[in-house]
Amino acid sequence: MRGFRFRRLELGLLVASGVVTCGGFAYLSYVENHRVLQHDMIYPGLFVLSTLVLSLWMGRFASGADQVVLPLAALVSGTGILVITRLDGALGHKQLVWTLLGEGGVAVLMVVPRHVSSFRLYKYTWASIGLFLILATIFAGTDINGSGYRRWIGAGGVYFQPVELLKILMAVFFAAYLEEKHELLSTARLKIGPVYLPPVQYLAPLVAMWGLSLVLLVKQNDLGSALLFLGIFLAMIYVGTARPVYPVTGVMMYAVGVYAAFHLFSHVRDRTEVWLDPWAHAAGSGYQLVQGLIALGVGGVGGQGLGQGMPYKVPVVTTDFILAAIGEELGMAGVVGLLALLLYLVFRGLSIAIRTPDGFQKLLATGLMSMLAIQTIVIVGGTTRLMPLTGVPLPFLSYGGSAALANWVMIGFLLKISSETMRARA
C-alpha cells in the first residue's frame, strides 16, 4: 500500500492497552459467573480490534501523528466501558457503540479536510451551528431523564446532547478568531479604570459569541457546561494574547456570576448548602454526595475488587459519580492511575500545541486540552467535595454517548495536528 507505514510504538501500546481491557472484562465475567463466558469477551474484543484498525488506517493517512495519544485514549476509554458495563450492561454496550462512532470520526478527520486549518475559514458558521443546536433544544428538545430541562435532540431511543458538539465548535471559533485578531487584541488602546482593553470592535464578536453561548446554557440550567465554557474562553484568550488582564477579569466576572447564580437559582443554593455540609442533608439532597464519599472511603487504597462493591447505591453513578464507583472497586490506586493517564494525555496534547508552527492549530489544541483538563478537575472536585458538584461528565469514563463522540473527535484533532506538524518539518 503506497505511503503506508507501520506505527510500531502505537501498535505495541494498543496491544498492551487491549490486554488490560480484555483482562478486566475477563475478570469481571469470572466474578459474576464463576467462569469466563465467551460472549462477555465479544464487546471488549471488538473495541480492541477497532483501535488496531484505526492505527493501521492512520499508518496510511497520518503516519506522522503522535503515537502515544491514541493508546492513552484507548486505555482510559476501555476502562470506562468496563466500569459502565459492570454497573449496567446495557449502558456499557451503548457506550461502546458511541465510542466506535467516535473512532470512525477520527478516521474521517484523518482524510477530510486535507488540512486542519481549513476549519478557520468558516469560524462564524461553526459557532452559528452550535448555538442553533442549543437554541433548538430549548424549543424542540427532549427531556430524557426527567430533570425538567430539554437538553437532548433525537427520536426513537437515539438522542444527542448538542452542548458536547458546541464545546468543540466554539473552541474552533475561538481559535480562528484569536489567530486572526491576536495582534489587535494584544494592543491596549482603551482604558477603563485601571484596566487597558483592546479596541471594542475587535473584542466584541469574541465576547458576544461566548456570552450568547453562556446565556443559552444558563437558560437550560446547564451551569456545569457554562463554567467549562468560561474556563476554555479564558485559557484560549490568554494564550492568544499573552495578556493576564483577560483571565483576571474573567475570574472577577465568574465571582460575580457565582454570587448572582446563588441568589437567582434555588438549585445552586441547594448544591452549595450540600457541598458545605452534606451530612446535614444526607437523607435528602445530600444523599448522592454522601454515598459517593462513603464509596470512596470504603474503597480505600486497593479497592473492594472489580464487581465486588456496591457502587449502585450511589444515585446516577454511571454519569456524575463514576469516580465513586471506580474508587470503591479499584481503590485510590485505580483513581490516581486513571487521573494520571488523563493528565498525561493533556500533557501530550499541549506538547502537540507547542510544536506546531500554525497559530490556529496551536490555539485549537490548547483549547481542546483546556476543555479536557477543566472537565476532569470539575468532576473530581465535585465528587470529592473540593467544590460544588456541577454535573459535567468525566472524559472517557462517564457514561454519555454525546460526550464519548466529542472526546474522540478531540483526539482526532490532536492526531491530525501532530501529523501535519511532522509533515511540515519533513
Query: What confidence category does residue 197 fall into, taking pLDDT thresholds of 50, 70 and 90?
Result: low
Q: For the ranges 62-71, 113-122, 161-170, 221-230, which has the lowest average pLDDT?
A: 221-230
- 139 or 358: which carries more pLDDT confidence? 358
CA nearest to 402, candidates 206, 224, 158: 158
Is the predicted pLDDT of residue 185 greater than 80, yes or no? no
CA nearest to 219, candidates 261, 253, 255, 189: 261
Q: State residue 217's pLDDT score.
A: 60
Q: For the ranges 19-33, 109-123, 261-275, 287-301, which has the lowest average pLDDT?
A: 261-275
**pLDDT > 70 fraction of the chain, expressed in percent and rounded:** 91
Q: Where are the domains of the chain?
A: 8-425
Is the predicted pLDDT of residue 246 greater than 90, yes or no? no
Query: What confidence category does residue 1 fall into, taking pLDDT thresholds of 50, 70 and 90?
Result: very low
Sign of the alpha-carbon dihedral angle for 142, 403, 262, 290: positive
Is the predicted pLDDT of residue 198 greater than 80, yes or no? no
CA 206 to CA 173: how far, in whole Å?
9
Neighbours of 6 (CB within 10 A): 11
Verdict on whether the full-model pTM lies above 0.85 = yes
Dump pLDDT digits (tens) for 88-116: 999 999 999 999 999 999 999 999 988 99
Contact 215, 166 (CB under 8 A): no
CA nearest to 40, candidates 81, 8, 12: 81
Calculate the average pLDDT of the chain.
Answer: 88
